[in-house]
Structure 1
Amino acid sequence: MVRLQSFATLAGRVFLFLLLTTVPTLAQLDLSQAKLYLSAPEGPLPARARQVLVEEVSARTGLTFRSVSKVSAKGDNLVILALEENVSSLPKPFQAQYAALPEIRKDGFKLFANRELKTVVIVGKDARGLLYGVGRFLRKAELSGGKVIFPDAGFALATSPAYPIRGHQLGYRPKTNSYDAFTVAQFDQYIRELALFGANSIEILPPNTDDDATSRHMKVPALEMVKEQSRISQSYGLDVWMWYPNLEKNYSDPETIRKGLAEREEVFRSVSKLNALFAPGGDPGDLEPDELFKWMGQVAVALQKYHPEAKIWISPQSFRPDKPWFDAFFDHVNKGYPWLGGIVFGPWVKVPIEEIRARVKPGIPIRNYPDITHSLACQYPVPDWDKAWAVTLGREAVNPRPYDQKHFHNAVAPYCTGSISYSEGTNDDLNKFIWSDQDWDPKTDVTETLMDYSRLFFGPQFAYRGAEGLKGLEENSRGNLLGKVTVAQTFRQWQAMEKEADNRTLAQARFQMGLIRAYFDHYTAERLVYETELQRRAIEKLEGATRGDVDRAVTEAAAILESAWKSPVRPELRKRCFDLADSLYRSIGAQLTVSKHGAMPGRGNFIDNIQFPLNDAPWLLAQLERISALSQAEAKLKEIRLLTARTDPGPGGFYDHLASPESRHRIVANASWAEDPGSLRSPRTGFGLSLPGTEWYKTIPEIGARVPLVPANWNNQIEVLYDNPLKVRYDNLEKNARYRMRVVYTGRFKSHIKLVGDGGVRIHDAIKVGEQPVYEFDIPAEVTRDGKAEFTWTCETAERGVQVAEIWLLKTN
């Protein structure tokens, strides 16, 4: 699927390039001297749309549209803003053009140009629609250097959103990788820009969540910023949601209820607008459905005291996802509480969306809550990610994934009434705009969104090249990194734009995010080649060791491996990444390192991982240190042979690192990634280690990183979620041979897992994973007698799932 998608992407690029270079330029409208006319009732929202247009044009061109109080049909150079109810006051040519376009619905707009009258007209179905029309104008216009050019004098568009909920979560708390450093003005601008791409909802967080209420980066106290976020959203006519988790353990206790309601009343009273409250059923929070719904009924009273029309939405997110819990949850949902607005589908919801839609009454809406911010250990991890990306970029790096995001959206959207994304900062910035465009119209081509994004934020000269550069960053993450030529190509694209960009563009955070990924990706690819070769040379040195020179071989092999950090490759690329990290901290408070930028560990600080080893050097060096301590040369040689032949299964045996492309054919999947991108029915690649004790880890001072002293393959597993079985099939075993399985259980899940063979033949009973990584078991003869075997792993009910890293089938007879 990924390869076909990549090919299709390449074909699309070629087609678009040919189209742009062979089709004659369309007639343009020069609006640089245009005047601005607003035809709408007096009110703050139409005036806000006009203000947005004037300010955004001025910021990019230095020009200021001068407002006029009347309009004629004499060929004046104009930009006209109007509401549908006021179209009849416009000159007849504009009325006729308006009437010729299809009708629009709530939040919709019509945008058209009149070549003869040198005018662009933007008409909103309502005040919010007018703002979205202004956004589309700004996205399509070429704004730079004292010029306002509308590229198509025959442009005509009538459009309305496909989904009524279109928004993003902007949490002001330390766990985010940048929002806690925003000023009020930065939130205003960010919310405005989201609205330019059709967002109509902003989800804010209360001061008290599963995170601290303060951070060293905060410019104002949390409650004060929550008030401002609500006020700003209201000023643009946007809906305001609030994510409010239930953190207490016992909501049947009168004192807990009193404190909880008092805390919530203070927050509800503080915000000027609140349309909906979203209470997750878990992550965080851990309530039984009976207690959850009773408590939310009490919260609803407090909420509607200050916001009478507000509703409460609840998600079936639960870390104990057993059948009774879900049965009780859906029973409550279907009772039709008057305060219940709907339910939310998001991360760690075990039940597939189509099943949820079937279990709740048709009139109860479902809101999507997609995780667009994480790359691994999440709802939508990058499929088949290379280990090099997992250990460097990690979970929360800058992660432009435009094609993936469109796929995630369209897989779930038919069951939902729209989406408000889960975000932990600006690292997912591009993904927000993809989701907004898809919520507006799921048929929107990704290229159109990327070109609009690049044109508006980078400048019109980068519309096409910026779009291609962003596509390239996503392409970098597909498949094996070693030997992937597109990484260098994408780097050259961004470097060329960097050289051409003016100071305003270079200071633009979105441009900086693209640059830092391009430099980081290229540096990582260069390191992978270098460190792979170092390991090959070190292994070759060890394999050639003899009794007379074993100590020298060990010393030289260790020196070769240590070259990765003592003589690093391409240090200038690494330095540029740190410089860009500093630039992003200055521009938007992005926290890409812990010590310098004050990031929360594991939350966006991927620059801290920039030198994390990309080979087995830490483990090999630990083994060489152990071998050096042996007193006999023969013992050293024996251990070296075992070391260099670690994955060798011996004659007639098999070795599989299940997450590697070479072994994926053994995994039995019920659905493809395209069919099940959230892996609720099928296996996926997992990353992570959680080994007991400090002896498994060591800090390498030269790179400032704490690294595991285990083979790199242990950090990469195949996994299934919840009670799905993991099935692995072997079809080419020797008939009637006996086998012993060596298996490595690593990963983040601490489940109790058991293993059976064909026909349910027991191989091992439930083992609590995490206490040791390597196990061995004899395979009963009846499992492999016919030369085939299917092994099935399962975990206990309500646990997170199963993770298996490596398997050896060792022939024992």
Structure 2
Amino acid sequence: MTKLPLLLIAFFSAFMSLAKPIDLTKARIYTSISDKQVLLRSIEMLQEEVKKRTQVTWEVTDKLPTTATPLVVIALEKDVALLPTAWQKEVQKLSTISAEGFKLVTIPASQAVLIVGKDARGVLYGVGRLLRKLAMYPQKITIEEGVQLATSPRYPVRGHQLGYRPKTNAYDAFSVAQFDQYIRELALFGANSIELVPPRTDDDVKSGHMKLPAMDMIREQSRICKEYGLDVWMWYPNMGSNYTHPDSIQIELDERHKVFSAIPKLDHVFVPGGDPGDLEPDIMFAWLQKMSVVLKKYHPKAKIWVSPQVFKPSKKWFDSFFAQVNRGYPWFGGVVFGPWVKMPVPEIRRITKASIPIRHYPDITHNYSSQYPVPHWDLVFAQTLGRESINPRPHDEKTIHNALDEYGVGSISYSEGTNDDVNKFVWSDQDWNPETPVIETLRDYARLFVGMDYQETVAQGLISLENTFRGPLLTNESVERTLMQWQSMEQKASLAVLQNPRFQMGLIRAYYDAYTRRRLLYETELEQQAKDALRGAVKGNSLAAIQQAKTTLERAWKVPILPQYRQKCVDLADSLFKSIGAQLTVERHGAVSGRGNFVDNIDLPLNDSPWLLDELGKIEKLNNEAERQQKIDQLLHRTDPGAGGFYDHFGAPESWHRVVSDVSWEKDPGSLQSPRVSFGVGIVGEEWVDEIRATGFKGQVTPRAWMKQVKTLYEEPLKIAYNELDPKATYRMRISYTGRFRSRMKLTTDDGALIHDFFQTGEEPLFEFDVPQKSTADGKVTFIWTCGEGGQGPQVTEIWLMKK
């Protein structure tokens, strides 16, 4: 009995291997649809995309042939009765479809492929799926015989933000034709919405890359969406100086008149509660009421959506916000769940009227200091690749999507450029059907955008790039294997593939990661050799030991390794700038610092040399040999907790077992109820870290350890537990508090003892406190950090528990 399914599978596989694909090279396109508002640009898109890849032009015919001939048939479901009876039966065998859905059927006996759309968008997405499944070569087009698909989108909102502004790492360099192509390609994978950005945001109005003034390009983006039949959204933050004074309000209304009247299509406006443009809810909704009048004048059916997105929220703010949300304003569209929303989306769903939709606004573009950071990311990657590197995270995106999708009506992603290109297509496929395997999307992506011969190699190569993000880079040997995968493709690739931006984006990451890891291995060993030299200072010649250590550390940049890998990254960055406007450096490509310019970080030190050299420079200036030796000893023993003591760095994986978490990352990818790793030393007076450097605390050079810490968000307590303590001992606790935010924190123990009351971190990094003996008398203790209401969460970097 157990062998029967295996035999059936083997038989089916053998049958499929014998089945001949349908040859569509000489096919024509037939459609019974005469309404141009239904067809829109679907047939044009099909013809153009086929011709680009095959140099074959599929002509359109208005008559069905009487004999079997290669044919692509496009019809609406309501018109299926006009098709031949045999075809009707094949279509009717499939399950029913709903709005925007389609059926895709191959009819081998007739050499035909049928696309049956429920509506105009169904036709568009049916054409997109056909293009994704065709085998296209120069002068050759085929499709497998057994295609029988009936599918409808799970969620009605599926899209991406394409902001034309300088802070993006590529969009501001796009031409009208490039936006047209990119929007088209997103539609091929089921996107039905594009979110625009107005000329005035928290950014400059123009950049040196822009082909058109911002308002002109926004008008073009809207027009393109209208021609494809897609919804147009606009993210519109409140950037005015005052929303209660009549004169200031009028200035804002005049701007809305100008913007809304200029674009041909606008279906929704999304106004964030903050980040930027923080407003009190009552003031914000009163303003939105006025804005809605202007919006309705030019786009009568358009709705306004809002998010409880604010940097320092309070319970009062949230109570007021949701009271306004639930009032039922006629212009109100729904609530948006996005970055800096501290309330978990299930809770938002619970307190919001069931009739009010929730839209997701997922950050798919950033690697850290973001809504969905890479879990437990290595500090070296955070330093070098930064927040906005090329970052395919297909499996992570599926996990994040599926953890929260049931609470909303779909998503429009937050994107800052082309660095998240793969993530967009994965996310759209998940919004269409959350059961879609990631590998299916990646194979379609590779097949359609790189070429048939790369459907498996590029798909697997992208997964390998994601895997390099996992675990400590120092021991991650998959980095070299990933480079070998991409080099193998590179060696066999045609010039067209080598110049393909999507291939280049994968290739540059493979080289960059391998180069970074090799440098890490090299510089880690140099640091150890330098410390070995310093240990020789106890013999009485500290100045010689210091000089030897400095010379050893300086070899990292005076005797660099693998210069050919470095040059490869620079060359690929230049090519990507020329083709898609990717701005991977500030000087060469005009990037905004911290916005995708990861190639600028290619030479950053990957060991503790900046701090060591700074400290050694100070020690050298001391006149007393004994004092120099003492300072060197302290430097080498910085992390030593003494006999019987404990030291932990909570940015390091080896200390994470002490961090208490009751919710897994898979269930809480935004870490609203669980701890996360965070990056940044912290600079007095600033709360933003877009690049991680070994400076902070009034410009002092700092140890690498201070660049990475554990944190929780908002009022969520941070708990760190110690077991196996000496129950008879008394401990003194040293803590380093560093990180992106200046946190107001309080520290207690699980038995209620107060270690320190609320105080503001960010002025100094190191603090020491006595731990009450009664708190450790049972051999264990849990330390608990909390922030006051409106805080951005506690963050802890290092702990020394030292026996007194």
Aligned residue for 2:54?
Answer: 61
**Contact 2:681 2:692 survives alignment (8 Å):** no
Conserved? CA contact 2:692–2:707, under 8 Å:
no
Task: Measure the CA separation in 2 of the matches of 1:114 and 1:156.
Answer: 9
1:383-398 alignment, distance < 5 Å: 383-398=375-390
Distance 1:20 1:764, change over 3 A: farther
Work out whether 1:775 is the aligned partner of 2:770. no
Q: Give the secondary-structure state (helix, strand or coil) at the position aligned to 1:670.
A: coil
Deviation, 1:41, is: 2.2
**Matched-pair contact (CA < 8 Å) for 1:38–1:50:** no
Distance 1:391 1:398 in 2: 14
Alignment partner, residue 439 of structure 1:
431
Instruction: Give the counterpart letter for 1:35 in structure 2.
Output: R
Q: Counterpart of 2:5? A: none
1:787 maps onto 2:763 in alignment: no
Call closer, same or farther: CA 1:658–1:320 in 2, change over 3 Å: same
1:718 maps to which of 710, 720, 723: 710
Cα deviation for residue 707 of structure 1 reads 9.7
Cα distance in 2 for partners of 1:21, 1:517 equals 39
> Which amino acid counterpart does residue 226 of structure 1 have in structure 2?
I
Matches within 5 A, 1:422-433: 422-433=414-425
Of stretches 288-297 and 625-634 in structure 1, the one that deviates more from structure 2 is: 625-634
Equivalence map 1:588-667=2 (5 Å): 588-667=580-659
Matched, 1:145 2:143: no
1:409-808 alignment, distance < 5 Å: 409-692=401-684, 709-808=701-800
Per the TM alignment, residue 499 of structure 1 is displaced from its structure 2 partner at its CA by: 1.6
Name the residue aligned to 1:90: 83
With 299-308 and 632-641 compared, the bigger mean Cα shift is at 632-641
Q: CA deviation at 1:34?
A: 1.0
2:286 aligns to what? Answer: 294
Aligned-residue offset at 1:761: 1.4
SS at 2:606 equivalent: coil
Q: Separation in 1 of the partners of 2:579 and 2:348?
A: 42
Could you tell me which residue of structure 1 aligns to residue 324 of structure 2?
A: 332
Q: Which residue of 1 aligns with 2:365?
A: 373
Separation of aligned partners in 2, 1:678 and 1:576: 35
Q: Deviations over 1:210-231 (max 9, x none)?
A: 1111001000000000100000
- Comparing 21-30 with 107-116, greater Cα deviation is found at 21-30
Amino acid at match of 1:231: R
Two-structure CA RMSD over aligned residues (Å):
2.0
Cα-to-partner distance string for 1:364-400 (whole Å, 9 max, x where unaligned): 1000000000000000000011111010011110110
* Cα offset, 1:641, TM superposition: 1.2
Structure-1 residue corresponding to 2:220: 228
Q: CA deviation at 1:503?
A: 1.9
In structure 2, how many angstroms separate the alpha carbons of the residues matched to 1:448 and 1:792?
44
Length-normalised TM-score, structure 1: 0.95
Q: Deviations over 1:743-784 (max 9, x none)?
A: 111111112112112332111122211111111112222222
Q: Distance in 1 between matches of 2:299 and 2:790?
A: 37
Task: Please report how far the alpha carbon of residue 670 of structure 1 lies from its aligned counterpart in structure 2 after TM superposition.
Answer: 2.5
DSSP-derived class of the 2:229 partner: coil
Amino acid at match of 2:67: K
TM-aligned CA distance change 1:50 to 1:71, over 3 Å: same
The CA deviation string for residues 72-101 of structure 1, in whole angstroms up to 9 with x for no partner, is 352111111122232222222222211111
CA distance in 2, matches of 1:619, 1:255: 53
Task: Report if aligned partners of 2:679, 2:692 keep a CA contact under 8 Å in 1.
Answer: no
Query: In 2, are the aligned partners of 1:265 and 1:302 still within 8 Å (CA)?
Result: yes
**Farther-moved stretch of structure 1 (788-797 vs 428-437):** 788-797
> How much identity, in percent, do the aligned residues show?
54
Report if the CA contact (8 A) 1:57-1:63 is conserved.
yes
Aligned 8 A contact 2:37 2:120 in 1: no
Matches within 5 A, 1:213-292: 213-292=205-284
Shift of 1:527: 0.8
Deviations 1:496-550 (A, max 9, x none): 1112222222222111111111111111111111111111111111112344432
In the alignment, structure 1 residue 36 sits paired with structure 2 residue 23: no
Secondary structure of 2:275's match? coil
Task: Tell me which amino acid in the other structure corresponds to 1:358.
Answer: R
User: Residue 40 of structure 2 contacts residue 227 of structure 2 at CA under 8 Å; is this kept in 1?
Assistant: no
| One-letter code aligned to 1:180 | D
How far apart are 1:709 and its partner, in Å?
Answer: 1.9
2:432 maps to a residue whose letter is W
CA contact (8 A) 1:114 1:120 kept: yes
Aligned AA for 2:496? Answer: R
2:20 to 21, 27, 46: 27
Alpha-carbon shift at residue 249 of structure 1 (Å)? 4.1
Equivalents in 1 of 2:803, 2:714: separation in Å? 32
Return 645-654 or 42-51, whichever deviates more: 42-51
One-letter amino acid matched to 2:109: E
Other structure's SS at 1:482 match = helix
CA distance in 2, matches of 1:25, 1:245: 58
The 1:394/1:157 distance shift into structure 2, 3 A limit, reads same
Q: How many pairs does the alignment contain?
A: 787
Counterparts of 2:676 and 2:637, CA distance in 1: 28
| Residues 774 and 551 of structure 1: CA distance in aligned 2, closer, same or farther (over 3 Å) | same
Q: For 1:495 and 1:124, locate their aligned partners in 2 and report how far apart those are by CA, in whole Å.
A: 42
Q: Are positions 1:309 and 2:301 aligned together?
A: yes
Q: State how far apart, in whole Å, the 2-side matches of 1:786 and 1:249 are.
A: 57
> How far did residue 354 of structure 1 move?
0.5
Aligned pairs (5 A) from 1:47-58:
47-58=40-51
Q: Cα distance, 1:708 vs. partner? A: 6.8
TM-fit CA distance, 1:659: 2.0
Contact 2:40 2:228 in 1 (8 A): no
Conservation of the 8 A alpha-carbon contact between 2:40 and 2:229: no
Q: CA deviation at 1:26?
A: 4.4
Q: Which moved more, 1:612-621 or 1:38-47?
A: 38-47
Q: Does 1:109 align with 2:102?
A: yes
Q: Choose from 353, 375, 391 the match for 1:399.
A: 391
Mark the CA change 1:44 to 1:338 in structure 2 (over 3 Å): closer, same or farther: closer
Say which is worse superposed, 119-128 or 260-269, in terms of deviation: 119-128
Q: 2: distance between equivalents of 1:107 and 1:296?
A: 31
User: Alignment partner of 2:734: what SS?
Assistant: strand
Distance 2:381 2:566 in 1: 15
Question: Aligned to 2:654, what secondary structure does the other structure show?
Answer: coil
Q: Deviations over 1:192-244 (max 9, x none)?
A: 00000000000001101111110010000000001000000000000000000
Q: Is the 8 A contact 1:434 1:446 kept in 2?
A: yes
| Residue of 69, 81, 89 corresponding to 1:76 | 69
Provide Cα deviations, 1:32-56, integer angstroms capped at 9, x if missing partner: 1111112212314415110000000
Give the distance between the partners of 2:800 and 2:635, measured in 1 at CA: 15
Contact 1:618 1:707 in 2 (8 A): no
In structure 2, distance between residues paired with 1:73 and 1:539: 85
| Greater alpha carbon shift after TM alignment, 183-192 vs 240-249 | 240-249
When the two structures are superposed, what TM-score results if normalisation uses the length of structure 2? 0.96
> Amino acid of the residue matched to residue 636 of structure 2?
T
The ranges of structure 1 where at least 4 consecutive aligned residues each deviate by more than 4 angstroms after the TM superposition are: 19-23
Q: Report if aligned partners of 1:72, 1:91 keep a CA contact under 8 Å in 2.
A: no
- Deviation larger for 24-33 or 553-562: 24-33
User: Contact (CA 8 Å) 2:680, 2:692: kept in 1 or not?
Assistant: no
The residue type equivalent to 2:291 in the other structure is V
Mean Cα deviation higher: 128-137 or 71-80: 71-80
Deviation larger for 134-143 or 684-693: 684-693
Partner of 1:322: 314
Query: Structure 1 residues 131 and 743 mapped into 2: Cα distance closer, same or farther (>3 Å)?
Result: same
